[in-house]
C-alpha cells in the first residue's frame, strides 16, 4: 500500500483562480490547470475535497489510489479525499476539473437518501455507459458544460447558486452512472510500473540535468526502450518529461517566491542564467521575467474585479 503521509496536499482554491478563494467548489479547464501545474501532475491528494476529472479528448496515464490506468477520452475519474493520485496528459488532451468540498457531497447524499453510499476512486470511459443510462450521461455532460460557463462568469450576482446547481446536477447523475457502469480495468502492464519508476527518478534528479542514459541504467533498460515506453504511456519523449518537470518547477518559483531569475536558474541546476532564460522562453514563448509579470498583471486584474 502506498504511504500517504508524505504525499503533499494540493489546495486548488486560491491557486490558479483567485475568484475561487475560500469557496466550496472549484472549476477549471484541464488546459488552465496544465498551464499552471504542468501536464505531469506528481502524486498529491486533496484534503476534504472530492475531485472529478472529465477528459473530453486525448490520452491520460492515471495513478489512482493503488491502481493505474492508460486510456483515452472521453472518460471521467473521481478522486475522493484523501486518495493519492497522479496523472500525465498529452498536450492535445482537453477537459474540465471540478473540485468539491466533502460537505457539499455529504449534504447531497443525505438529500438522495444515500447516506451509506461510500464513493470510491473510479475511472469510467463514457463509451462504456449503456444505452439505458444515456439520460444520465447527457445530464452529466450538460452539468459539466454549465459549470464551466458559470465559472467563466464569476461576477454574476447569481454565481454561487448557479455553481451549486450545476454541481448537484453533475454529482446526482454521476452517482447513477457509478452505480450502474463498470469501471475501467486497471492496467497491469509492466510498462506502467517502469513509467512510474521513471517519474520518481525524474522527481529525485531533475535539478541535476543528468543524461537519459543515467535513467535508463537505473531502470535496467536501454535508452531506446525507455523512450518507447514514454511514448506509449504519455505520448511524450523521455527527455520531454524531464523538460516538463523543470518548467513546472520554474513556474512555481516564479509564481510563489521573490527569487531573482538568476537565483531560480541556479536553484534548478542551470549554471548559466542566460541559457535558462533561453530554455524557458523556448518552452513558454515568454522569458521568465515576462512570465512573472503576466502572472502579476493577471492577479492584479482578478483582485480589481473582486473589489
d(CA 16, CA 21): 10
Q: How far apart are CA 45 and CA 165, in angstroms?
A: 26
The pLDDT tens digits for 54-71 are 999 988 888 887 788 888
Cα–Cα distance between 69 and 87 in angstroms, integer? 9
Average pLDDT over the chain reads: 82
> Is the model more confident about 66 or about 11?
66
Neighbours of 176 (CB within 10 A): 17
pLDDT of residue 19: 40
Beta carbons within 8 Å of 89's beta carbon, 6+ residues apart: 30, 34, 39, 55, 58, 59, 60
Greater confidence (246 vs 87) lies with 246
pTM above 0.85, yes or no: no
Q: What is the pLDDT of residues 129-180, one digit of tens each?
A: 888 888 999 999 999 999 988 887 765 544 578 889 999 999 999 988 887 7
pLDDT of amino acid 218 = 97
Residue 20: pLDDT band (50, 70, 90) is very low
Cβ-proximal residues to 39 (8 Å cutoff; 6+ apart), any chain: 88, 89, 90, 91, 93, 236, 244
Ordered by where they begin, the domains of the chain are 18-180 (2.60.120.280), 190-298 (1.10.10.60)
Query: What is the pLDDT, as a whole number, of residue 208?
Result: 96
Each residue's pLDDT tens digit, 112-123: 888 777 788 888
Residue identified by cell 490558479 is 16
Rounded to whole angstroms, the Cα distance separating 288 from 216 reads: 31
Beta bridge partners of 49: 101
Cα 122 from Cα 79, distance rounded (Å): 7
Local confidence band at 10 (pLDDT 50, 70, 90 cut-offs): low
pLDDT for the residue 2: 43
Is the separation of the CB atoms in 171 and 105 below 8 Å? Answer: yes
pLDDT the model gives residue 236: 84
- The residues, any chain, with a CB within 8 Å of residue 54's CB and separated by 6 or more, are 74, 75, 76, 95, 96, 97, 98, 144
Handedness of CA 195, 66, 106, 112 (dihedral sign): positive
DSSP H or E segment with residue 126: none
| Residue 56 phi, psi dihedral angles, 5° rounding | -75, -40
* DSSP tag of 21: T
Give the tens place of pLDDT for each residue, 247-286.
989 988 998 889 999 999 999 999 999 999 999 999 999 9
Amino acid at each position: 500500500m502506498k504511504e500517504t503521509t508524505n504525499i503533499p496536499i494540493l489546495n486548488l482554491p486560491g491557486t490558479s483562480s483567485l475568484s475561487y478563494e475560500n469557496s466550496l467548489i472549484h472549476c477549471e479547464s484541464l488546459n488552465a490547470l496544465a498551464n499552471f501545474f504542468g501536464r505531469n501532475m506528481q502524486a498529491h491528494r486533496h484534503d476534504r475535497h472530492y475531485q472529478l476529472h472529465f477528459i473530453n479528448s486525448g490520452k491520460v496515464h492515471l495513478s489512482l489510489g493503488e491502481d493505474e490506468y492508460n486510456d483515452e477520452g472521453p472518460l471521467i475519474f473521481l478522486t475522493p479525499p484523501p486518495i493519492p493520485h497522479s496523472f500525465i496528459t498529452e498536450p492535445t488532451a482537453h477537459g474540465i476539473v471540478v473540485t468539491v468540498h466533502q460537505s457539499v457531497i455529504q449534504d447531497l447524499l443525505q438529500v438522495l437518501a444515500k447516506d451509506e453510499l461510500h464513493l470510491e476512486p473510479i475511472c469510467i470511459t463514457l463509451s462504456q455507459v449503456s444505452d439505458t443510462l444515456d439520460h444520465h450521461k447527457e445530464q452529466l455532460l450538460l452539468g459539466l458544460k454549465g459549470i464551466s460557463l458559470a465559472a467563466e462568469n464569476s461576477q454574476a450576482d447569481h454565481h454561487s447558486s448557479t455553481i451549486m446547481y450545476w454541481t448537484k446536477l453533475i454529482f446526482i447523475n454521476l452517482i447513477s452512472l457509478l452505480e450502474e457502469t463498470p469501471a475501467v480495468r486497471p492496467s497491469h502492464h509492466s510498462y506502467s510500473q517502469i513509467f512510474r519508476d521513471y517519474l520518481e527518478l525524474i522527481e529525485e534528479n531533475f535539478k541535476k540535468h543528468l543524461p537519459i542514459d543515467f535513467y535508463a541504467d537505473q531502470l535496467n533498460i536501454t535508452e531506446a526502450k525507455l523512450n518507447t515506453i514514454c511514448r506509449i504511456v504519455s505520448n511524450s519523449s523521455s527527455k520531454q518529461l524531464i523538460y516538463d518537470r523543470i518548467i513546472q518547477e520554474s513556474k512555481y518559483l516564479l509564481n510563489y517566491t521573490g527569487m531573482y531569475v538568476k537565483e531560480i536558474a541556479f536553484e534548478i541546476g542551470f549554471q548559466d542564467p542566460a541559457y535558462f532564460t533561453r530554455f524557458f522562453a523556448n518552452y513558454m514563448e515568454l522569458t521568465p521575467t515576462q512570465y512573472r509579470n503576466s502572472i502579476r498583471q493577471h492577479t492584479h486584474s482578478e483582485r480589481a474585479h473582486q473589489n
